[in-house]
Structure 1
Amino acid sequence: MAITKGAQIRYSILDRCFSNPAINYTKIKLLDTINSKLIELGYDGIALRQMQYDIAFMESSEGFGIELAQGLNDGRKRIFRYADPKFSLADHPLNQSDQEQLKTTLSILSRYRYREEFEWLDELLPRIEAAFEFAHNDYSSLISYQSNRDYVGQSWVGKIYNYLIQKKVLEITYRSFNQEQSENRIIHPYHLKQFNNRWFLFGHQISENGYSGLTTLALDRILDILPNDNKFIETHIEWGDYFDEMIGVSKSDEKPVLITLRFRESRIKYIDTKPIHGATQKNVTTDPSGLTRTIEVIPNRELYQKLLSFGEDVTVVSPESVKQKMIEKIQQMKENY
């Protein structure tokens, strides 16, 4: 029998409870924890009988075959905890039914992987196949992906994504790198974006004493998130187009400017195969050397970081404002040595 989304969420909550030796989860405490989390995620709570069915299924061979500790009690009440403290469903293989269901889903998705709008499937499908051992046994020796497993903000991605779907207003405890004390921000969340192995939340900030308006929060600077019942403010921003005028995530009130760049011959082919800014990068046909390209973007921090990453292989031809900014940064770098 295939596992429904609601059931899978309940199993995941139970898994976290069973894995936590710091809390003595009795039957009633388990039920309270499950229902609290389900309501937070926008689902209805469950009755005690349903939770007992869920635990029985998790213990069965048709489910996950988990083993709960015996003889653990809080007074006369049984404590629910894994017999093996290191056990987790995250490390447990899928049962046969789920494997077949996942394989069918992957098969359907694979039909679309060669369409331009589904290019992301070329990266996603091999990862899933390898994670669940549907692919080559020595997959890790065939292909590697850039990732940052130690990234602090990763744990917030799924939670914020659920709040985005539910259009929940959030109270976020946040501390930027230049703040000594954290602060609470009321955010109407709109969009999550990954850039340079970090995640960022875009939303509308409401403040009585400080800044109100569109803001960007780095997920690795978030300390806590709580939903509230405030009315959600909709946005008219087309997020599919929002980033077309810039590199990265820092958008100011400045207008995009046409930037002319000249590259060394040894670098130009790399620039053409991996454009700096694919939406606007163009070849300057009037340059007989064929080494000049233009991009039209907002001059932000990420632009200068990108240009500096090319080192001596790039020269900013124009405009003068961007050229001077590059000169200032290069001179500051020189002073470091």
Structure 2
Amino acid sequence: MATNKHAQIRFTILDRCFSNFNRLYTYDNLLDEVNNYLYELGTEGIRLRQLQYDIEHMKSDAGWAIELDDSLRKGKKKAFRYQDKNFSIADHPLNVDDLEQLETTITILSRYKHRAEFSWLEELIPRMKQAFNLVADGDNGLIGYEENIDLKGREHLGTLFNLIVKRKQIKLTYEPYGKPPFEEVVHPYYVKQSNNRWFLFCFNPRYQTISNYALDRMVSIEELAEKFEPSTINWLDYFYDIIGVTKPEDAQIEKIHLKFSEQRLHYVLTKPLHGSQKLDRTDPDGRTVTIEVFPNKELYQLLLSYGPDVEVLAPDVVREEIALRIKNTNTIY
């Protein structure tokens, strides 16, 4: 049984090769694919005997009981490919070894979920337990998450994550709504989810600035060999003063005063609009809160979603923009 270091990484690479029906892989090709990835991780590669052990483990009941097409040849050499074009170990139930490793990993992660910088684990851990059926029989479906599983661009997440980790410059083919696709060379730094959409933040050499691109508008991603420009940005700080993902250029942070109806106030107090939200003690009615952010389109969309339950008291620039948008909306009806 292949339980040594980096085994799961090797299985994932082999699964990808066996699933590729546009190419035939021999033992030599498979070794190259696996070892090139391991070398990039800064570790040593494997030899043919270990590769053969890995394949046998994947074929066994202790692995994933994969079925390979034994009739394939590349020249005089044996070639490897799944019999079923739609098969992947990613779609296969976890085996005993996987379940034990996953439960151990979740136990270790759980130690850190109470630290502020790992607060996201509070959501991730129950999501993983539910997704991999690590709950008691009959308890599946204890938590529902708001997400669109059909959203385009999700398939780019893993690719972008690896390219960011490897510090690789990339060429995007990008197709905005209602416009023809274009190519852009960028240095990828950070991926962020907002309003159930994913966005890539990167340095754009053409504009000499930070740009963001929605993953659902990406047509293709190509890795480049050119020199990578490292990021000096603290991304947690970068997003602190904005709602959403848009950081306007030549804008300044505004202290925005918002007065809510009594019916909506308690909702806003228990689910703050932003991390800077505070109750305005100068309001005798106790219904005004303040936030300090850059005014952007996501802010205006959020405020308009409250309808008549909120009034923007200050500053004038935000109040006037909301009034203009309401006026434009009224012309439709």
TM-score by length of 1: 0.87
2:246 matches 1:250:
yes
Residue in structure 1 matched with residue 326 of structure 2 by the alignment: 330
Q: Which amino acid in 2 is paired with 1:106?
A: I
Residue in structure 1 matched with residue 262 of structure 2 by the alignment: 265
Q: Which amino acid in 1 is paired with 2:282?
A: T
Secondary structure at the aligned position of 2:113 is classed as: coil
Within-5 A mapping of 1:155-166: 155-166=155-166
Alpha-carbon RMSD: 2.7
2:293 matches 1:297:
yes
2-structure distance, mates of 1:39, 1:179: 41
State which drifts further: 258-267 or 227-236.
227-236
Gaps of 5+ in 2: none
Contact 1:126/1:135 (<8 A) preserved: no
Gaps of 5+ in 1: none
1-structure distance, mates of 2:25, 2:162: 28
Q: Deviations over 1:282-301 (max 9, x none)?
A: 11111111111111111100
Change (3 A) 1:233 1:77: closer
Secondary structure at the aligned position of 1:38 is classed as: helix
2-structure distance, mates of 1:257, 1:45: 54
- Correspondent of 2:271 among 243, 266, 274: 274
Per-residue deviation at 1:78? 5.0
Change (3 A) 1:49 1:182: farther
Residue in structure 2 matched with residue 194 of structure 1 by the alignment: 193
Per-residue deviation at 1:205? 0.9
Change (3 A) 1:32 1:182: farther
Residue in structure 1 matched with residue 14 of structure 2 by the alignment: 14
Q: Which amino acid in 2 is paired with 1:281?
A: Q
Contact 1:256/1:296 (<8 A) preserved: yes
Per-residue deviation at 1:248? 0.8
Change (3 A) 1:3 1:172: farther
Change (3 A) 1:196 1:29: farther
Q: Which amino acid in 2 is paired with 1:276?
A: L
Q: Deviations over 1:50-73 (max 9, x none)?
A: 443322221123322212234456
Change (3 A) 1:13 1:126: same
Within-5 A mapping of 1:136-285: 136-183=136-183, 185-207=184-206, 211-252=207-248, 253-278=250-275, 280-285=276-281
Secondary structure at the aligned position of 1:231 is classed as: coil
Residue in structure 2 matched with residue 31 of structure 1 by the alignment: 30
The alignment of Structure 1 onto Structure 2 pairs a total of residues equal to 331
Within-5 A mapping of 1:84-163: 84-163=84-163
Per-residue deviation at 1:97? 2.4
2:60 matches 1:60:
yes
